[in-house]
Structure 1
Amino acid sequence: MVSRDDRATVAVIGAGPAGLMAAEAAAAAGCAVDVFDRMPSPARKFLMAGKSGLNISRIEEDFATAYRCRELTPMIKVFGPQEVRAWMDGLDQPSFVGSTGRVFPEAMKASPLLRAWLARLEGLGVRLHRRARWTGWDGAALAFEDGTRIAADATVLALGGASWRRLGSDGLWAEFPELSAQVAPFAPSNVGFRVDWSLHMARHFGAAVKNTGLIVDGTTHRGEFTISAAGIEGGGLYPLTPRLRDGAPLALDLKPDLDAGAVRERLARRGKRSLSEHLRKALRLDPVQIALLREFGGPLPADPTGRIKALPVPLAGPRPMDEAISTAGGLRWDALDGGLMLRHRPGTFAAGEMLDWEAPTGGYLLTACLATGLWAGRHAASWAQDAESRARPRSGR
């Protein structure tokens, strides 16, 4: 990295949303910023997330409580959903709020927003270095796979979690000797769960399960999920990942809008109908719900009310980490100070999914990445601009 105009320098490792926001914050504070990413193009996971509509945040009361992570609260308060929308407006990428409170860019896709963002960063003098794989430290310098050594006044690590390795988040940084002792083990989050289906379920693979409650720890959650050859997956299941991952049993309420007494009363008037026809007409269960009832509740008793209201689903564990939308685990909070600086490595900050937090989908993931990136970038700039920090020698790229 070459000194520019005697400005303090900040190196950002990782060009995802957290890294790009850290770069923007540090550059806006007056630092010379270089971003290094091992992929040939930036923000690949961000672009993938926006392929079917970029849900970037969510408007709701007590937004920060969804994270169940008190350390994130001050950062979300500084850069929460309303600030995300204002930031998008500043990039000429206006947003709208959907019926469930989810925030989307009017263009829906991630690519126009990313193009506008990269143009702003270029205007701020931020330099992006592609195919630059960081391999750790060589003394005080940042080391790269091609042999390059870089000295910066401050560094922001935004290396992502451990899912979607083909898009750049492989979690290998957690094995670096300088970081491994500070890391809580990764675990899949927002992920499907394996189910060992019988052959009779094959005809239902790809079917959506609707109007069904998911019961975990005695609480019924409403949400849609999908049957797949591997098991079950989908937005209604993902918020339950932490408890299911820890071994909590899952049951289904196939008729959540009726209590057990009402279900039993309707089933009592069967007449000469077959059981499947009776379940369909009396309770309006659809074919996939009836198939699930037979799969996990058969052979059905004369009164199947109990199984309809609490059908146990034997899960065989979460799908592999690389199939997860996000991951839990990462740099522990006790390894960081209030500015997201590593306690054992002054001048090095961290942001995004590499921190030990998790959240459901629906805008929470991206908002926290942006908020922690802003927080780390501002604190890194402040550190870099400190006179004592700026006095350290630099080397050229």
Structure 2
Amino acid sequence: MTVLVIGAGPAGLMAAETIAAAGRAVVVADRMPSVARKFLMAGRGGLNLTHGMPMPGFLDAYGAARERMAPFIAAFSPADLIAWCEGLGQPVFTGSSGRVFPKAMKASPLLRAWLARLEGLGVRVLTRHEWQGFAADGAALFAGRDPIPAEAVVLALGGASWPRLGSDGAWQRHFSAEDIAPLVPSNCGFRVDWSPHFAGKFAGSPLKRIALTFGGRSIRGEAMITAEGIEGGAIYALSAAIRDAGGGVVSIDLRPDLPGLNLPADRRGQSLSTFLRKAAGLSPVAVGLVQEALRAGAPGDLLGLVKALPLRLGAPMPIARAISSGGGLRWGAVDDALMLRARPGVFVAGEMLDWEAPTGGFLLQGCLATGRAAGLGVLARG
């Protein structure tokens, strides 16, 4: 009999590779017409594979799931991921931020090489197979398809972000409610009550080289103004804390590169926009943020607004618009090899599990590491 992997994203494909490399027959089934759609979408702007941050700081990115993720990351580390990528003929480089990318800056060449390796290992891929649970005899059920019996199963069905790309969270109905932590948006944007003038003028404008602070934690990066709020890497890095707090006020340093910035007391007849552009070097959207804060009743301390502009964030954007999702199958539902305690022989990997991490390479590292762990769990069971 074969081993069945359900879900053809990074976690599922890594589980399939791990098992097939040991000489076992593997079938991968996915409900979409083609595999790894979210992986390909994530790679359009430059595929962030992992991060060069040393341990233990790297593990801190996994927050509350740090201790559960640690053994999987140790067994398939960032260095291992880099070696794996280069073994597929895809050299990498590390950017100034510590993020690691393939030199091709795309996911498609890596995926093609990966699928070729899987084909060489004898892995069969079945598309348009939507999982519907298990039959009484243990065979996997698929909508409009014949059941597939297997000696072991790896579930790698993702979370609930970007559902049009495959991960819609429908798998939850096949588990008891007490085994699932509710799926929530992660690496997400937040709603902001912009004035119509600001939203109309600056929606779609990037806010570059800023520093955001929330809950005592500061992140340098970039953000993007949208008609409904704000999103982008710096926001994503703090999104779990902001979400769990029910929103709140973030502080934005619009010129973190100028810690000793001073502004002249006399504007010499200049408009506020001209003054902030010349004296503080602010971009038009940054000037607009200062003006927006003043319209909302912020004190008129311009230097204070440039260095610590308060911005109240509301609800997170819907999970369908999030980069990833938090929540999922609780850790108590699986053993240390990621096998379901309630269903021996069935393993779980990737975003189905209850962990989250910021963008920057931590997400993909976690998916690949748990995929490999699930594959090793299958092999260890015999």
**Range into which the TM-score falls when normalised by the shorter chain:** over 0.9
The CA deviation at 1:13 is 0.5
Which amino acid in 2 is paired with 1:66? A
* 1:75 and 2:72 correspond: yes
Which amino acid in 1 is paired with 2:256? P
Which amino acid in 1 is paired with 2:326? A
Bigger Cα displacement from structure 2, 37-46 vs 306-315 = 306-315
Contact persistence 1:297–1:311 (CA under 8 A): no
Alignment of 1:191-202 (within 5 A): 191-201=188-198, 202=200
Which amino acid in 2 is paired with 1:88? C
Residue aligning to 2:144 = 146
- In angstroms, what is the RMSD of aligned CA positions? 1.8
Structure 1 runs (4+) deviating above 6 angstroms are none
1:96–1:300 CA distance, 2 compared to 1 (3 A): closer
The CA deviation at 1:219 is 3.5
Whole-angstrom distance in 2 between the partners of 1:58 and 1:128: 30
User: Between Structure 1 and Structure 2, whose CA radius of gyration is higher?
Assistant: 1
Residue aligning to 2:41 = 48
Whole-angstrom distance in 2 between the partners of 1:121 and 1:381: 17
* 1:64 and 2:75 correspond: no
Alignment of 1:307-322 (within 5 A): 307-322=305-320
Residue aligning to 2:119 = 122
Residue aligning to 2:130 = 133
Residue aligning to 1:278 = 275
Residue aligning to 1:390 = none
Contact persistence 2:219–2:237 (CA under 8 A): no
Whole-angstrom distance in 2 between the partners of 1:125 and 1:93: 22
* 1:352 and 2:347 correspond: no
Per-residue CA deviation, residues 71-121 of structure 1 (Å, 9 max, x unaligned), is: 111111111111111112222222222222222222222111111111111
Q: Residue 323 of structure 1: which of 321, 324, 335 is its match?
A: 321
The CA deviation at 1:271 is 3.2
Whole-angstrom distance in 1 between the partners of 2:188 and 2:222: 14
Whole-angstrom distance in 2 between the partners of 1:314 and 1:55: 30
Residue aligning to 2:88 = 91
Whole-angstrom distance in 1 between the partners of 2:71 and 2:18: 17
Whole-angstrom distance in 2 between the partners of 1:225 and 1:333: 33
1:10–1:245 CA distance, 2 compared to 1 (3 A): same
Contact persistence 1:29–1:378 (CA under 8 A): no
1:23–1:293 CA distance, 2 compared to 1 (3 A): same
The CA deviation at 1:223 is 1.4
**SS of 1:173's equivalent?**
helix
**SS of 1:278's equivalent?**
helix
Alignment of 1:157-236 (within 5 A): 157-176=155-174, 178-201=175-198, 202-236=200-234
Give the TM-score normalised by structure 1: 0.89
The CA deviation at 1:179 is 4.5
Contact persistence 1:159–1:354 (CA under 8 A): yes
Contact persistence 2:252–2:307 (CA under 8 A): yes
Residue aligning to 2:253 = 253
Residue aligning to 1:361 = 359
Give the TM-score normalised by structure 2: 0.92
Contact persistence 1:162–1:171 (CA under 8 A): yes
% same residue: 55
Contact persistence 2:129–2:145 (CA under 8 A): no
Q: Please, which runs of 5 or more residues in structure 1 have no aligned partner?
A: 4-8, 386-397
Residue aligning to 1:37 = 30
Contact persistence 1:173–1:179 (CA under 8 A): no
**SS of 1:214's equivalent?**
strand
Residue aligning to 1:106 = 103
Bigger Cα displacement from structure 2, 369-378 vs 209-218 = 209-218
1:92–1:314 CA distance, 2 compared to 1 (3 A): same
The CA deviation at 1:258 is 5.0
Whole-angstrom distance in 2 between the partners of 1:300 and 1:250: 14
Residue aligning to 1:336 = 334
